[in-house]
Structure 1
Amino acid sequence: MSKVVAVVSGGMDSATLLYHLIDAGHDVRAISINYGQRHVKELDYARQLCDKVGVPQIVADLSAINPLFGANSLSGREIEIPEGHYAEENMKLTVVPNRNMILLSVSIAWAISQECVAVAYGAHSGDHAIYPDCRPEFAAAMDQAAKLCDWSAVELWRPFVDIDKGDIAQRGSELGVPYELTWTCYKGLAEHCGKCGACVERKEAFAKHGLVDPTAYMA
């Protein structure tokens, strides 16, 4: 059994990651990050997920650095969240510059202080085209950096990097992940909008293997 930090955002991927690590018998603790994201309500879902499985969680408040991310629709409020599929060019408006390096760096620091052997995050193959910091090359570089940044080497685990969100949903179904306790929509409204790239991908994930989607969508 390994002592591991899981990056838990409150979305489908990180929820499945949390259950996946517990199923593997690891001693898990969770970190969630507030970077001033428009859909900050996802952190409420992260808390509910961690409470449900009895995993200790901390929330790192990095909202003060939000202005450094510049013009994008995810951390800013001036640009509307684009609608459509992730394959479309306009989805690049949701890219927050260097987000994962920042979030993983904070998580690695906490992992070192907790004497953990690894940090795990839920990047998957469907993210690669739009988000450079979800690609295998980036993850491999961060893994090397995590092993060099301190006297105590930490590994970066990314168990879903070679599968897509549909396969993650199937794995979560096997594990009994309560997907009704997860939040995906980038707009952060009362319900999932059903039109943004994140919502479209969520719908497709459940549909791929014929799984029941417990999500209430506005459209």
Structure 2
Amino acid sequence: MKQESKIIVLVSGGMDSATLLWLAKEKFSKVYAISFDYGQKHKIELDFAKQLTEEAGVEKHFIVDVPHLKGIEGSALTDEKIEVPSEEYPEGPPITTVPMRNLNFLAIAASFADVYEIENIGIGIHSVDSPYPDCRAEFASSAEAAINASSVMVAKKKNRITVWTPFLGMTKAEVLKTGLRLGVPYEKTYSCYRGTIPPCGECATCRQREEAFKEAGIEDPTKKLEGR
């Protein structure tokens, strides 16, 4: 049943955020989207984010520049001196971790939520992302507490802002199956940390995507488009 409330969804252009966006369309009366340019090597994902938000028909799509993350060294996603490895996700935080990325993203999204009086912020974190410290349940609940403690809207209206994380505890294949039910156009999503066309097929996020489609028993539609 659709809630008569608004949500702003973090949309990267990948599978998870696209699925979250379509689920938000099903669950909320008004849907906004926000994407970030933080110096990621796969900045091409923003082109896919634009396509997805246009097709979804969101109220507004904000694209925010986060310049300070571009200058942080040590992450393979932003540091040109470090190659994105060909690997599965390790048990601990991977070299592709961008320090405090999701905390920054949620804080910025909360600023827009305050201005537009949006009661919910959606982020598509799930169980396979758990090697990243900012993709865990304790992070989401802590971020929600901080957002509510600092929100002007909450102080005035005496309501709460919810950090909506419906995929926590789900695998990527389960997220994919949810998206298939919702009719998510996965051919318009992008998953590759190296930012290549076609995707490299070797980095952790490429492998994660391939495994999800394999487990779901269907072919990734982007392979047809790329002639692979």
TM-score, normalised to structure 2, is: 0.90
Which blocks of at least 5 consecutive residues in structure 1 are unaligned? none
Q: Contact 1:191–1:218 at 8 Å: present in 2 too?
A: no
1:203 is aligned to 2:210: yes
- Report the Cα offset of residue 88 of structure 1: 6.2
Query: What is aligned with 1:135?
Result: 136
Q: Which residue of 2 aligns with 1:177?
A: 184
List 4+ stretches of structure 1 deviating above 2 A.
215-219
Q: For residue 189 of structure 1, what is the aligned residue in structure 2?
A: 196
Residue 218 of structure 1, CA deviation: 9.4
Distance (whole Å) between structure 2 residues aligned to residue 165 and residue 189 of structure 1: 22
Q: Which consecutive unaligned segments of at least 5 residues does structure 2 have?
A: 155-160
Q: Secondary structure at the match of 1:152?
A: helix
Taking only the aligned residue pairs, the percentage that are identical comes to 39
- The answer for the alignment partner of 1:166 in structure 2 is 173
CA deviation string 1:87-145 (max 9, x = no partner): 366x71101111110111101111111100011110001111x2000010111101111
How many aligned positions are there? Answer: 216
Q: Displacement, 1:64?
A: 4.7
How does 1:146-157 map onto structure 2 within 5 Å?
Answer: 146-153=147-154, 154-157=161-164
Question: Which of 76, 96, 99 is the matching residue for 2:98?
Answer: 96
Correspondence for 2:158: none
Query: What's the counterpart of residue 62 of structure 2?
Result: 58
Q: 1:169, 1:119 → 2: CA distance?
A: 21
Call closer, same or farther: CA 1:39–1:132 in 2, change over 3 Å: same
Deviations, residues 5-48 of structure 1 (Å, cap 9, x unaligned) = 01101000000000001012431010001111000010000000
User: Following TM superposition, by how much is the alpha carbon of 1:2 offset from its aligned partner in structure 2, in angstroms?
Assistant: 0.9
Contact 2:6 2:28 in 1 (8 A): no
Distance, in Å, in 1 between the alignment partners of 2:112 and 2:27 is: 22
Shift of 1:63: 3.0
Letter in 1 for 2:167: F
**Residue in structure 2 matching 1:46, options 42, 45, 49:** 49
